[in-house]
C-alpha cells in the first residue's frame, strides 16, 4: 500500500477543533451573496416523513420540479436538478464536453476557479483574463477564437462574478461562440439565474448552471443545469464523461423513469417544489424587474456614500460590490450591523478585495424595502 507522503502531513497545520453546535443562535437576515432568505412555507415543506427515491411519489416530485423550472426559465432545452452545489457542474461540464482545449474567460475568483477545475481535470486551459472588476467583452472572445490556431472544445464564462459584482454580457458572448459550431458555450450562472433574466435558447448557450441557494432562494443542496441537444450529443460521442454529473445519465434516467440516477436530497426537493410554484406565480420577467429595482436602489445608495466597484455598465443585478472609498472599518461594521440589527452582509472577496470593498446580496425574496432596511442600518453604524 503506498503511504501518504510525510511532507504532505507535516505541511498541513491542523487548527480546527470541534466547536459544539448548540442550536442556540439568533436569526439573522441574510444579505450575503447566498445563501439568502428562504420563505417559511418553503422551509416547512422539508418537514415531511421520508419516502423512497424509487417510489411513484418521487416521480411526481421530480417531474414536477423539472418541468416547472423549464417553464419558469422559458427553455425548451433539457434540464437536470442534481443533489450537489453549482461547483459540480463546473467540473462535469468540462468532463462532458472537453477533450483537450478549453478557453476560460476570467474576471474574478469564481471564473478563476473554473480555470483551476479544468486544469485539475488535465485539460489544456487557455485563459482570456480581465482585471477583477472588469467585464468579459464579446469582441475579445471573437478575436481570440479567430486569431488562435487552437480549436477549443468549449468557451466558459461566468454570468455574474459574485466576487466583484460584475455581470458579463453572456448573451453577446454566446452570439459570438455560435459562429464556431464545434465550440460549446458553458455559462456559470450561479448567483444570477432566477434574479436576472436570460433567454437561454436564443444565444447558443449549451450549458448553463446555478445553485439553488442563490437567486432561487432555496435551502442549499441542489444544482440546476440546462443542457442543449448539441451538448448532450457531444457527451454521447465522448468516452470520458462525468459519471455523477454526466448529462446523458441524468437525462436518460429522466426520460425512462422520471427520477434521478442516484438518491437525491428529497427534503430539499420538496422545498424546491414549493418555491418554484412561487417563482412561477411571480414570473421570470417580473422577478427580473424586482431584482433590477433592488440593484438600482443599491447602486444609487453606494454612489451617494461610497463608490461602485465594477466597470460601469456591467454591474450585477443580484450582488452589488461597493468600493470602500471612505475607508470605513468594513469588518467592524459588518459585526456591529449583525449584533445590533441581526442583518448580515459580506466583506469584499478574499485578501484582494476584503476591506477595500463590501458586498450586498439583493437576491431571492428581498425587495427594495428590505434592502433599504440594511442600508439604513449601515448608515447608522458607520455614521454616514
Ligand atoms: C459565480 C459563482 N460560481 C460558482 C459558485 C460556487 O457555487 P457552490 O458553492 O454552490 O458550488 C459560486 C458561489 O458563490 C458563485 O458565486
Phi/psi region, residue 342 (left: phi>0; alpha: psi -120 to 50; beta: rest), is: left
**How far apart (Å, rounded) are the C-alpha atoms in residues 340 and 119?**
44
Q: What is the pTM of this model?
A: 0.96
* Mutate-to-test residue for ligand 1 from 81, 85, 90, 223, highest number of ligand atoms within 8 A of CB: 85
Residue-level pLDDT at 5: 54
Mean pLDDT, the chain, whole residue set: 96
Residue among 174, 88, 168, 104 at smallest CA distance from 136: 168
Q: What is the CATH number of domain 41-280?
A: 3.40.640.10
Residue-level pLDDT at 318: 98
Residue-level pLDDT at 168: 98
**How far apart (Å, rounded) are the C-alpha atoms in residues 133 and 275?**
32
Average the pLDDT over 307-317 and give the result: 98
Ligand 1, atom 2: nearest CA belongs to which residue?
190
Nearest atom in ligand 1 to the alpha carbon of residue 211 is 10
C-alpha radius of gyration, the chain, whole number: 21
Q: Which triple of cell numbers denotes residue 20? A: 459544539
Residue-level pLDDT at 9: 56
pLDDT band with cut points at 50, 70 and 90 for residue 1: very low
Q: Which residues line ligand 1 (CB under 6 A)?
A: 33-34, 85-87, 110, 158, 160, 162, 188, 190-191, 211
Task: Give the model confidence (pLDDT) of 151-187 as tens digits.
Answer: 999 999 999 999 999 999 999 999 999 999 999 999 9
Q: Which triple of cell numbers denotes residue 264? A: 437525491
Residues of CATH 3.40.640.10 domain(s) within the chain?
A: 41-280
Nearest atom in ligand 1 to the alpha carbon of residue 88 is 11
Nearest atom in ligand 1 to the alpha carbon of residue 189 is 1
Please say if the pLDDT value at position 323 is more than 60.
Answer: yes
CATH of 29-37+283-382, one of 3.10.129.10, 3.90.1150.10, 3.40.50.1820, 2.30.42.10: 3.90.1150.10
User: What's the CA-to-centroid distance between 185 and ligand 1, angstroms?
Assistant: 18
Residues of CATH 3.90.1150.10 domain(s) within the chain?
A: 29-37+283-382
Strand 124-129 relative to strand 101-106, pairing? parallel
Ligand 1, atom 16: nearest CA belongs to which residue?
162
User: What's the CA-to-centroid distance between 210 and ligand 1, angstroms?
Assistant: 8
Amino acid at each position: 500500500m503506498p503511504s501518504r507522503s510525510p511532507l504532505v502531513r507535516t505541511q498541513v497545520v491542523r487548527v480546527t477543533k470541534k466547536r459544539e453546535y448548540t442550536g442556540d443562535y439568533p436569526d439573522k437576515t441574510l444579505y450575503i451573496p447566498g445563501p439568502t432568505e428562504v420563505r417559511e412555507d418553503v422551509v416547512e415543506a422539508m418537514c415531511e416523513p421520508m419516502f423512497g427515491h424509487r417510489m411513484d411519489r418521487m416521480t411526481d416530485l421530480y417531474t414536477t420540479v423539472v418541468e416547472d423550472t423549464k417553464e419558469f426559465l422559458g427553455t425548451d432545452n433539457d434540464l437536470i436538478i442534481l443533489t450537489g452545489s453549482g461547483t459540480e457542474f463546473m467540473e462535469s461540464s468540462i468532463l462532458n464536453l472537453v477533450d483537450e482545449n478549453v478557453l476560460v474567460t476570467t474576471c474574478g475568483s469564481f471564473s478563476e476557479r473554473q480555470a483551476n477545475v479544468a486544469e485539475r481535470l488535465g485539460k489544456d486551459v487557455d485563459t482570456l483574463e480581465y482585471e477583477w472588476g472588469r467585464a468579459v467583452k464579446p469582441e475579445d472572445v471573437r478575436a481570440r477564437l479567430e486569431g488562435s490556431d487552437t480549436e477549443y472544445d468549449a468557451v466558459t464564462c461566468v454570468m455574474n462574478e459574485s466576487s466583484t459584482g460584475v455581470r458579463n454580457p453572456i448573451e453577446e458572448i454566446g452570439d459570438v461562440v455560435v459562429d464556431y459550431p464545434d465550440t460549446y458555450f458553458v455559462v456559470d450562472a450561479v448567483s444570477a439565474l432566477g434574479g436576472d433574466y436570460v433567454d437561454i435558447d436564443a444565444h447558443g448557450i449549451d450549458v448553463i448552471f446555478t445553485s439553488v441557494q442563490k437567486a432561487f432562494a432555496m435551502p442549499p443542496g441542489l444544482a440546476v443545469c440546462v443542457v442543449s441537444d448539441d451538448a448532450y450529443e457531444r457527451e454521447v460521442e465522448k468516452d470520458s464523461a462525468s459519471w455523477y454529473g454526466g448529462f446523458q445519465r441524468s437525462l436518460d434516467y429522466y426520460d425512462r423513469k422520471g427520477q434521478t440516477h442516484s438518491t437525491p436530497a428529497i427534503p430539499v426537493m420538496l422545498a424546491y417544489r414549493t418555491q418554484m410554484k412561487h417563482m412561477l406565480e411571480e414570473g421570470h420577467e417580473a422577478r427580473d424587474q424586482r431584482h433590477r429595482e433592488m440593484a438600482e436602489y443599491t447602486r444609487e445608495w453606494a454612489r451617494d456614500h461610497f463608490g461602485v466597484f465594477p466597470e460601469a455598465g456591467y454591474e450585477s443585478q443580484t450582488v452589488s460590490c461597493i468600493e470602500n472609498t471612505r475607508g470605513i472599518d468594513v469588518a467592524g461594521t459588518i459585526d456591529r450591523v449583525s449584533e445590533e440589527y441581526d442583518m448580515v452582509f459580506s466583506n469584499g472577496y478574499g485578501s484582494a478585495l476584503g476591506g477595500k470593498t463590501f458586498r450586498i446580496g439583493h437576491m431571492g425574496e428581498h425587495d427594495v424595502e428590505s434592502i433599504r432596511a440594511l442600508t439604513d442600518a449601515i448608515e447608522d453604524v458607520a455614521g454616514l
